[in-house]
Amino acid sequence: MAVRSITNAEVSGKKVLVRVDFNVPLKDGAVADDTRIKAALPTIEHLLKNKASSVILMSHLGRPKGQRAPEFSLKPTAERLAELLGRPVKMAPDVVGPEVEQMAGELGAGDVMMLENVRFYKEETDNDAEFSKKLAALADLYVNDAFGSAHRAHASTEGVAHHLPSYAGFLIEKEVRFFEPVLKDPQQPMVAIIGGAKVSSKIGVLESLLPNCKTLIIGGGMAYTFLKAQGHEIGNSMLEEDYLDTARSLLKAAEQKGVEIVLPVDHIVASEFAENASPEAVDSVDIPSGKLGMDIGPKTIAKLKEIIGNAKTVVWNGPMGVFEFDTFAGGTLEIAKAVAECSGTTIVGGGDSVAAANKFELAERMDHVSTGGGASLEFLEGRTLPGIAALQD
């Protein structure tokens, strides 16, 4: 279901409370990576251009666990935002309370104000109704642009939406626009590439995508549990014994639904899990004893490239190997390139595949790179995200 878009909101003359995701890394009291702040600019600039009387921003930063903690202050983000916007950003001394109410009341045309870290209050994560009301009382409209927190029912992401007309900012709108069809009616053939460490953390995604895709590629550490379930030798590769039955059921379900499951047919292995381990190519599905699979091999890469090249929709979540170690990043790099070159709709969701796309400088060439790790995983699992549900009719 589509979300109410900011483009349909009458913002002129209104005070707008915007939930952004400024949970950025800090170094020496300054913003070390401003990607998330830059990502919020289109929504903030849209509001200012359309004559919102003022824009009040709120976010969390780190985990201050309901306590005021200066090292988790959002002040550095307000300073960086002011530079990017080319206009001052007032820093509120708190999230709620008389001082903040007064400051909010005195905001003039086009003023921008940043509230303190919402997680200075445990009422935020408790989704406390009174706290939500206090936040809502600061403004006339609510806009949520923090997809990364949309899977949490917190006061700033969900509670506040019950008290104000609520809209999705451009970031959330784009996430929904790309992710929703994947679960409903994707352009076929759809290929899902699911990798990463564990079957246990991806089983929900595998089961949810299975009915909609033509081909399901399983790579990374989780592939070995599937290979073992098929009766192959996997040496010392990553294995989740408890998930062998789950893997067998998924393979069976795929067969019944006519979905092609593609697992690695060759490997790059090592004798130990280490950055400086020597890579060895194994030209068979089976892995010799004493060795562990660290990456997909060249035959697998060639096979996957062909499948991805013919796809109309590609969803990629999780690396194909231990991409953090350069020696074992080749498979993930080649698959990232294939996704970037695919002429169909390409969606990268989940923390580590986004990190991989960024590492290889290919993110710009994807149609959509999700801004939320846990949130995109839950979205792909077909779960209702409370922060999104609050923006739907």
Active site residues per annotation: 36, 198, 351, 374
With respect to ligand AMP, which residue has the nearer C-beta, 123 or 352?
352
**Nearest distance from residue 171's CB to ligand AMP, in Å?**
22
**Nearest distance from residue 226's CB to ligand AMP, in Å?**
12
Amino acid identity for residue 331 in this structure = G
Angle between helices 199-209 and 244-257 (to 10 degrees): 10
Tell me how far apart the alpha carbons of residues 299 and 313 are, in angstroms, rounded to a whole number: 23
**Nearest distance from residue 40's CB to ligand AMP, in Å?**
25
- Three-class DSSP category at 133: helix
Tell me how far apart the alpha carbons of residues 381 and 245 are, in angstroms, rounded to a whole number: 20
> How far is C-alpha 255 from the geometric centre of its chain's CA atoms?
30
Bridging pattern class, strands 26-27 and 30-31:
antiparallel
With respect to ligand AMP, which residue has the nearer C-beta, 148 or 196?
196
Task: Decide: 197 and 238 in contact? Cβ < 8 Å.
Answer: yes
Cβ-Cβ contacts under 8 Å for 308 (sequence gap 6 or more): 191, 193, 314, 335, 338, 339, 342
Cβ-Cβ contacts under 8 Å for 352 (sequence gap 6 or more): 196, 318, 319, 323
- Three-class DSSP category at 227: helix
Amino acid identity for residue 209 in this structure = L
With respect to ligand AMP, which residue has the nearer C-beta, 221 or 330?
221
**Which residue is nearest to ligand AMP, using beta carbons?**
196
**Nearest distance from residue 221's CB to ligand AMP, in Å?**
3
With respect to ligand AMP, which residue has the nearer C-beta, 76 or 350?
350
With respect to ligand AMP, which residue has the nearer C-beta, 41 or 282?
282
**Nearest distance from residue 268's CB to ligand AMP, in Å?**
9
Tell me how far apart the alpha carbons of residues 223 and 265 are, in angstroms, rounded to a whole number: 11
With respect to ligand AMP, which residue has the nearer C-beta, 159 or 235?
235
Which residues in this chain contact ligand AMP in the complex, by CB under 6 A?
Answer: 196-198, 201, 220-221, 238, 293-294, 318-319, 321-322, 324, 350, 352
**Nearest distance from residue 319's CB to ligand AMP, in Å?**
5
- Three-class DSSP category at 142: strand
CA geometry: angle at 177 spanning 175 and 182, to 5°? 90
- Three-class DSSP category at 54: strand
**Nearest distance from residue 297's CB to ligand AMP, in Å?**
12
Would residue 107 be called left, alpha or beta, if left means φ above 0 and alpha means ψ between -120 and 50 degrees? Answer: beta
For 54, half-sphere exposure in the C-beta direction (CA atoms, 13 angstrom radius) is 20
With respect to ligand AMP, which residue has the nearer C-beta, 259 or 296?
296
Nearest to 172 by CA among 192, 143, 152, 208: 143
Tell me how far apart the alpha carbons of residues 175 and 145 are, in angstroms, rounded to a whole number: 10
